[in-house]
Structure formats: structure tokens, C-alpha cells
């Protein structure tokens, strides 16, 4: 008889986005004439730019010729991509990251989930609240989260509230913590930490031997100069932080799939007997055992993101989304709503008016204004009383949605 991993049975059955889809579908069935605008999606809508498409086409042709055909490649990524990442994303910014510290993968969702494979099950894990749900759910699956309580929290996780009350700056935990997930610019709140604010966390991690798992999926949306693009801009971070980066939101790769994780050789974990072990060694072992590399064609596409033409085209797309963010932010602010994020991130975090719940505000927007957002409470208990809007729609839909949102009577 084979037994299941019972931790999986603890995960709540329905998922936030399927609940939303169900409500929207029901509404559309009842009101087929309504023009429903979705500002809830976390997916990009613009197609891949030509520099990337051309690189993919060229790579496809290489696959058709015996002299240039590629089979299995290095699990960690081809040198041409790894070296391009090191040069452009790190060396050009004066950051000391070497090629054997980069692991190319099929996504940061996989990497932020799979990183748990190399972490002991007794570690105490902290998450900011609200949070990208993958960090929590993958710790539930491995057994580090414990049991779900009536207040929506898992009893073994440490939740660090990030709300308008603390300006979305997480306070250092007062209890013992071994691992902390930080995501900046943040999904879902769209807020960021300055270099000084992130330094507080790096110093804390150095003093307390805490491992920081830093998710930088939205770094390309940063517009302000005091916001770090990489945690390694903070002195000492090479000793305590693993960084996750993705081409998904940066370059429209949500359906193309490419990301990378940086595991500096200087980040150490400990055995039960106190012996130091490099996470780089462990992640290399895990990655080469369980993963066979990102397709050659996709790695050539990722490489093209760093060409002069690729950079320019990607920037134009990001500027387009950030213009949407500005329209949402300014439009809602002018109506007296409290709005956060949207300056260094494609996410806008709206405080619900009149003390409505997240779902109450969601229902109101859907039923009365035909606009879809994402209820903040779906991202954690501290998300209650907020709703997330995204800048990934078209300009036309964004403008139309904002003009409808201006009809909110608050």
C-alpha cells in the first residue's frame, strides 16, 4: 500500500483565481451584454517583441540542421545565456556574481517552490503578509507550515504584516526565524523597500544566521533610484541571500518560460551537528538531478532580451504597462481612494472604501461597474480590506475601467 503525502490534504480546496473565475463566469452568464474588464490578471498581454521572436526563429532553424542541432544542454543553462546574465544583470551594476552561481530554470514559481527541497523541515519560515501564495503553499506541502487556523494563518509560519499602518515596511520578527521570503517590488501590494530598508533585513540575517529568499520577479518595473534591483546591492547579502529572477513579467515570457536563480557560493546552511554546507552545492545537485535544462530555443530568446534592440523593445513594453499603472493610480487617487504601489511595480493595491471587505468590494466592482480585481484577502489575512488591480491590460481597457471606477460613490 502506498501512502500519500498528507500535507497535501491540508491545502484548502479552492484556489483564489478559480473562485474569481467562477464569480465572473456566473455574472457573464446572467449578463451576457455586459463588457467586463479584467484588471485582476497577473499575466502580461503584450506579445513578445521582434528581437526575441527573431532569436527564437534563428534557433528553430539551428534545430533543423544536423550541424547545429542541440539535444540535452547543461542543466544550469548554456554559457551564452549565463554569461550574458552575469555581465548585464550583475557585473554592469558592479555586483560580484559568477557564472557558477546562476541556475537557469523554467520559472520562478518552480524555483521559489522547489528551493524547499534543500532546506530542513524544522526551519521556522517567515512570510510577509499579504504574500505571493506559492511561498506558503509549498511550505504546507513539505510540512513546514503546520495547521491552518480559523484566522487564516498556518500555525507554524511567522506572518509579518505589511499594511498601510506600517507603510508596507515589514518589521523584523520578534520570534526566532530561520528563513524569510522577501519579494520586492512586491506582489501583491506593489510596494518596495529602499536600500536602507532592505539593509535592515540583510543585517538581521547576518546577525541571526537567517536565510533570505529574495524574489525579484518585478525588478524591471523599478523607476525610483533608491530602490534596489538586486539584494546583492546590499553589503553582506552574498552571505545570506538567494535571489530569484524571471523573464516572465520582465520580457513577456509567462508562456515562454525562463527564469534564473542566484545561489552565491558564500551562502551557508548548517547540518544538525553545526557543520557548514554551501547551498550552491546542494542546489546544483538538486537542479542537475531533477531538471534537464530550459530548451535551447527559449534560452536564445532570453539571451536576446539583453541585446541593444531587445532592451529597447522590452523597455517600451514596460513603459506601456507603467503608463497604465499611472492612469489607475492617479485616477483612483483623484476620487479620494487610498492607493498604494504602481510606481515601481505593475500592481496597484487599493484600500476598500467604506470599510468594505475585500470580497465585498470585489462583488461591488463586478456587479455595478463590471470591473474585475483580485480580493486582497486572497493573499493573506493582512490583505483583508484591500483589492489588487494590475497594469497588464490594454491602454483602452485601463482607461475605460478607471472611468468606471470614478463612479464609485465613497
Burial 34-49 (b: 16+ CB within 10 A, else e): eeebbbbebebbeebb
* 334 annotated to bind ligand: no
Taking the least distance from each CB to ligand PLP, the nearer of 102 and 183 is: 183
Residues 6+ apart with CB under 8 A from 230: 89, 90, 93, 95, 216, 219, 243
Determine the Cα angle at 198 with ends 250 and 349, to 5°.
Answer: 55
376 binds ligand PLP (CB under 6 A): no
* Helix axes 296-304 and 50-63, enclosed angle (nearest 10): 150
Q: Residue 132 or 362: which CB sits closer to ligand PLP?
A: 132
**Is 132 an interacting residue with respect to ligand PLP (CB under 6 A)?**
yes
The residue among 246 and 344 lying less far from ligand PLP, judged by its C-beta, is 246
The single residue among 187, 261, 382, 398 that binds ligand PLP, judged by CB under 6 A, is 187
Q: Does 260 bind ligand PLP (CB under 6 A)?
A: no
Nearer to ligand PLP, 111 or 178 (CB): 111
Minimum CB distance to ligand PLP smaller for 115 or for 177: 115
Q: How many CB atoms lie within 10 A of CB 279?
A: 20
Strands 339-341 and 179-183: unpaired
- Report d(CA 11, CA 154) in Å as an integer: 10
Do 267 and 256 meet the contact criterion of CB atoms below 8 Å apart? no
The reply to whether 280 sits near ligand PLP by the rule CB under 6 A is: no
Instruction: By CB under 6 A, tell whether 254 contacts ligand PLP.
Output: yes
Residue 257 assigned ligand-binding role: yes
Q: CB nearer to ligand PLP: give 112 or 114.
A: 112
When the beta carbons of 161 and 353 are compared against ligand PLP, the nearer one is: 161
Whether 218 has a binding-site annotation, put simply, is yes
Identify the three-state secondary structure at position 61.
helix
Identify which of residues 128 and 358 has a Cβ nearer to ligand PLP in the complex: 128
Question: Can you read off the three cell numbers belonging to residue 308?
Answer: 541593444
Using CB under 6 A as the criterion, what x/- string covers residues 145-184 for binding ligand PLP?
Answer: --------------------------------------x-
Q: Is 38 annotated as a binding residue?
A: no
Residue of minimal CB distance from ligand PLP? 107
Contact criterion met (CB below 8 Å) for 70 and 62: yes
The answer to whether 373 touches 302, Cβ cutoff 8 Å, is no
Residue 127 within binding range of ligand PLP, rule CB under 6 A: no
Q: How far is the CB of 250 from ligand PLP (least distance, A)?
A: 9
Among 42, 143, 173, 381, binds ligand PLP (CB under 6 A): 42
| Count of residues that interact with ligand PLP, criterion CB under 6 A | 14
Is 84 or 246 the residue whose CB approaches ligand PLP more closely? 246
Whole-number minimum distance, CB 247 to ligand PLP, in Å?
7
Cα separation, 33 vs 259, whole angstroms: 40
Per-residue string for binding with ligand PLP, 285-314, x by CB under 6 A? ------------------------------
Is 114 labeled as ligand-binding? no
> According to the annotation, is 181 in a ligand binding site?
no
Q: Please give the Cα distance from 97 to 95 (Å, whole number).
A: 6
- The CA-CA-CA angle for residues 41, 44, 46, to 5°, reads 135
Q: Is 164 annotated as a binding residue?
A: no
Site string for ligand PLP, 204-223 (x = CB under 6 A): -----------x-x------
Smallest gap, in angstroms, from Cβ of residue 295 to ligand PLP?
15
Query: Hey, which residues between 64 and 123 contact ligand PLP (CB under 6 A)?
Result: 107-109, 112
Grid cell of 141 as nine digits:
506541502
* Terminal-to-terminal C-alpha distance of the chain: 60
Q: How far is CA 79 from CA 83, 128, 253, 296, 299, in A?
A: 6, 35, 20, 11, 10
The angle, 0 to 180 degrees and rounded to 10, between the axes of the packed helices 50-63 and 308-334 is 140
Please answer whether residues 194 and 227 qualify as being in contact, where contact means their C-beta atoms are separated by less than 8 angstroms.
yes
- Which one of 165-173, 198-206, 246-254, 280-288 is the stretch in contact with ligand PLP (CB under 6 A)? 246-254
Footprint of ligand PLP (CB under 6 A):
42, 107-109, 112, 132, 183, 187, 215, 217, 246, 248, 254, 259
Mark the binding-site residues for substrate, compressed into ranges.
15, 42, 109, 132, 187, 292, 388
Amino acid at each position: 500500500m502506498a501512502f500519500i503525502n498528507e500535507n497535501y490534504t491540508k491545502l484548502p480546496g479552492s484556489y483564489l483565481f478559480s473562485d474569481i473565475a467562477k464569480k465572473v463566469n456566473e455574472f457573464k452568464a446572467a449578463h451576457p451584454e455586459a463588457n467586463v474588464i479584467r484588471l485582476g490578471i497577473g499575466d502580461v498581454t503584450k506579445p513578445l517583441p521582434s528581437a526575441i521572436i527573431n532569436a527564437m526563429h534563428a534557433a528553430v532553424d539551428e534545430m533543423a540542421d544536423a550541424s547545429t542541432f542541440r539535444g540535452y544542454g547543461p542543466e544550469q543553462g548554456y554559457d551564452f545565456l549565463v554569461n550574458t546574465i552575469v555581465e548585464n544583470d550583475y557585473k554592469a551594476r558592479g555586483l560580484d556574481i559568477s557564472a557558477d552561481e546562476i541556475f537557469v530554470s523554467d520559472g520562478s514559481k518552480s524555483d521559489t517552490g522547489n528551493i524547499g527541497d534543500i532546506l530542513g523541515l524544522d526551519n521556522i519560515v517567515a512570510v510577509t503578509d499579504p504574500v505571493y501564495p506559492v511561498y506558503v503553499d509549498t511550505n504546507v506541502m513539505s510540512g513546514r507550515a503546520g495547521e491552518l487556523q480559523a484566522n487564516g494563518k498556518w500555525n507554524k509560519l511567522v506572518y509579518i504584516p505589511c499594511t498601510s499602518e506600517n507603510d508596507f515596511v515589514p518589521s523584523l520578527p520578534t520570534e526566532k526565524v530561520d528563513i524569510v521570503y522577501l519579494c520586492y517590488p512586491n506582489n501583491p501590494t506593489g510596494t518596495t523597500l529602499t536600500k536602507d530598508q532592505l539593509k535592515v533585513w540583510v543585517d538581521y540575517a547576518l546577525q541571526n544566521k537567517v536565510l533570505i529568499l529574495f524574489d525579484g520577479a518585478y525588478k524591471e518595473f523599478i523607476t525610483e533610484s533608491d530602490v534596489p534591483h538586486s539584494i546583492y546591492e546590499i553589503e553582506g547579502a552574498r552571505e545570506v541571500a538567494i535571489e530569484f529572477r524571471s523573464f516572465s513579467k520582465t520580457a513577456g515570457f509567462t508562456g515562454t518560460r525562463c527564469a534564473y536563480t542566484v545561489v552565491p557560493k558564500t551562502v551557508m546552511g548548517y547540518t544538525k551537528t553545526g557543520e557548514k554546507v554551501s547551498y550552491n552545492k546542494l542546489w546544483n545537485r538538486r537542479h542537475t538531478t531533477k531538471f534537464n535544462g530550459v530548451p535551447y530555443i527559449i534560452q536564445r530568446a532570453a539571451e536576446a532580451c539583453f541585446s541593444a534592440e531587445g532592451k529597447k523593445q522590452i523597455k517600451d513594453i514596460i513603459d506601456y504597462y507603467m503608463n497604465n499603472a499611472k492612469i489607475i493610480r492617479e485616477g483612483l487617487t483623484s476620487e479620494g481612494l487610498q492607493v498604494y504601489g504602481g510606481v515601481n511595480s505593475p500592481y496597484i493595491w487599493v484600500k476598500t472604501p467604506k470599510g468594505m471587505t475585500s470580497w465585498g468590494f470585489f462583488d461591488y466592482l463586478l456587479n455595478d461597474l463590471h470591473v474585475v480585481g483580485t480580493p486582497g484577502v486572497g493573499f493573506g489575512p493582512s490583505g483583508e480590506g484591500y483589492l489588487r488591480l494590475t497594469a497588464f491590460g490594454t491602454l483602452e481597457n485601463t482607461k475605460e475601467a478607471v472611468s468606471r471606477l470614478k463612479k464609485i460613490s465613497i
